[in-house]
Amino acid sequence: MGSRNRKHGVFEVPEGAGILTYINDKKREAMTIQYALDTAFQQMRVGGNRERTINSYEYIFRQFAEVTQLKYIEDITVNSIYLYLDSLKVSRETKLIRLKSVKAVLSRFHNNGWIQRKFWAGIQIKIDKKVKTEAAEGDIDKLISLVDQSTFIGFRDIVAIVTMYKTGIRIRTLGELQEHHIDIDNMYLNIDGSAMKNHKNLKLPIDDDLAQLFKTLIHMNNGIRSYYDIENRYIFITQNGSPLNNSKSSNNAISKQLNKYSKRFGLENINAHAIRRAYAKNLLKKGASVPLISKALGHSDIAVTTQYLDLDVDEVAKDLRNYL
């Protein structure tokens, strides 16, 4: 009996060699993509990431898993990523966005210790950089004059165009604007970080014309929401009273409308980015400094602002002479 109770002996099973340990090790090795995604996205939510960012990552990575028919994260390889990218019938710019999303999720897996090596780091998609220009002031004025403002959609679109042109906010931020963001008494937009790409609060002045447009649109919105029995306080809504933004796309109904107007009225450079750039260029022409414009645009890096303004080399040299 004494020998049976001894802790050490020739018949003792070494610590860590039991069947449960073996099963647990195999579970760690064969972690499913589903489990990894659920855990990673829960961590992101707790960490304060925006829900639309998480939803976008989830949509793209589940698409990746479906195309490659992978179940376990240990089966993800460089080849499987290239297989996914090759299956996409989209522009190279869109492929780059999808690749960045896949990389972001894989990096989360790596940080959790589920993947040991960042084998995806070397995968690149080269994009020929196109010089993006601002919308011409004359084209914006023409657009405003041609859109039918007698309908709700037309009037809403006009308010959206004027808002972007006079404040420079992004198309996604436009879709996130709510009534509490508008300070009519003090003539400001007070946009909290939840609606901003860089998560920072932004305060922008508005003029009397834009304030009046907001008042009229809010009145129309109230009638539509009441009719469809929908509760929200968004400034820009659909004709059915729903919010404009969705989780799967950076675009919304306003962006699609701008594309439609551009084709209908023969305006080549009418889109949300071009209007935002027009706002920035107008500030520059009026004497605003690049740091001030950077703040107004909500850029986290002033280098992004200088690229945004796309300053001509001769223009820079001429302006610099004034400081000699």
Whether pLDDT at 239 is above 60: yes
Q: Give the pLDDT band of residue 48 (cuts 50, 70, 90).
A: confident
Least confident of 68-82, 124-138, 206-220: 124-138
More confident residue, 249 or 157: 157
pLDDT in tens, 184-195: 999 999 998 777
pLDDT (average), residues 185-210: 87
Whole-number pLDDT of residue 251: 62
Shortest CA distance to 100 belongs to which of 44, 135, 60? 60
Give the 3-state secondary structure of 178-214: EHHHEECCCCEEEECHHHCCCCCCEEEECCHHHHHHH
168-200 as b/e, with b when 16 or more CB fall inside 10 Å?
bbbbbbbbbbbeebbeeeeeebebeeebbeeee
Sign of the alpha-carbon dihedral angle for 209, 212, 216, 217: positive
Mean local confidence (pLDDT), 307-322 = 68
- In sequence order, the β-bridge partners of residue 202 are 191
pLDDT of residue 304: 76
pLDDT of residue 324: 72
22-42 pLDDT, tens digit per residue, is: 334 444 457 999 999 999 999
User: pTM of the predicted model, to two decimals?
Assistant: 0.62
Relative to beta strand 188-191, strand 182-183 is antiparallel
Tell me the torsion sign for CA atoms 171, 177, 183, 189.
negative
CA–CA separation, 319 and 324 (whole Å)? 10
Phi, psi of 309 (to 5 degrees): -75, -20
Q: Check whether 303 has a pLDDT greater than 80.
A: no
Domains and CATH numbers, the chain: 19-111 (1.10.150.130), 137-321 (1.10.443.10)
Helices (H), 30-134: 33-46, 51-68, 78-87, 92-111
At 200 the pLDDT is 79
Q: If pLDDT is split at 50, 70 and 90, which confidence band does 14 have?
A: low
pLDDT at 19 over 90: no
In the predicted structure, residue 140 carries a pLDDT above the cut 70: yes
- The string of DSSP codes covering 300-321 is S-HHHHHHHHT--HHHHHHHHH
Is the per-residue pLDDT at 16 higher than 80?
no
Say yes or no to pLDDT of 207 above 90.
yes
Q: Under a CB-based contact definition with an 8 Å cutoff, are residues 311 and 290 in contact?
A: no
3-state percent breakdown (helix, strand, coil) of the chain, nearest 5: 60, 5, 35
Q: How far apart are the first and last CA of the chain?
A: 99
Question: Helices 137-146 and 272-285 meet at what angle, rounded to 10?
Answer: 130
Nearest to 54, CA basis, from 104, 110, 109, 120:
104
Report the interhelical angle of 290-297 vs 272-285 (nearest 10°).
150
Q: Which two tokens stand for residue 29?
A: 């090795």
Which of 162-176, 273-287, 289-303 shows the lowest mean pLDDT across its residues? Answer: 289-303
Q: What is the pLDDT of residue 265?
A: 95
- pLDDT interval class at 316 (50, 70, 90): low
